[in-house]
Amino acid sequence: HIHNLDFCTVLIQIPCTHSLPYYKNQSKAISDLADQLEENGILIVACGSMNGIWDKIALSLIKITTGLAHYPGIESLKNMSGQKLSVVDIRKIKEKWFVPSIVAVAYKKESIV
C-alpha cells in the first residue's frame, strides 16, 4: 500500500483531482501524466467513480450542473495504468450515504529496464 512507500526516494505528484471525468481520452491523460514522473514516481488520481446504481443516479444529476463527463469505475481506473504504471493502492472515499463514490488511485511509474 502507499503508506508503506519510502517518500524520500519517490517523486509524488497529485495533478489530477476531479478533472479526469472531463477528459475525452482518459487513458491518454493518465499516460501523459505518467510521462512527467521520474522512475518509481507516484501519480495519485482522485475523481468521482461510477460503481453502482446510486452512483449512476447521483453522478447523472451532477452532470446537469457540470457538463459532459464520464465517471470511470474502479475497474476502468485499474486498466488505465497501461504499461507505464502499476496500481499501488485504491481507496474508495465514502463519507455520507448520499454522496456518490469518490475513488483515489495511486499509480507507480515502472522502472525502466
Distances (CA, A) of 98 to 19, 56, 94, 102: 21, 12, 9, 12
The whole-model pTM stands at 0.82
Pairing of strands 42-48, 85-93: unpaired
Q: What is the pLDDT of residue 62?
A: 83
Q: What is the pLDDT of residue 97?
A: 84
Q: What is the pLDDT of residue 13?
A: 65
Q: What is the pLDDT of residue 40?
A: 85
* Residue stretches of the chain with pLDDT short of 70: 1-16, 112-113
The whole-angstrom separation of Cα 47 and Cα 26 is 12
Cβ-contact 88, 2 below 8 angstroms = yes
**E strand residue ranges, the chain:** 12-17, 42-48, 85-93, 102-109
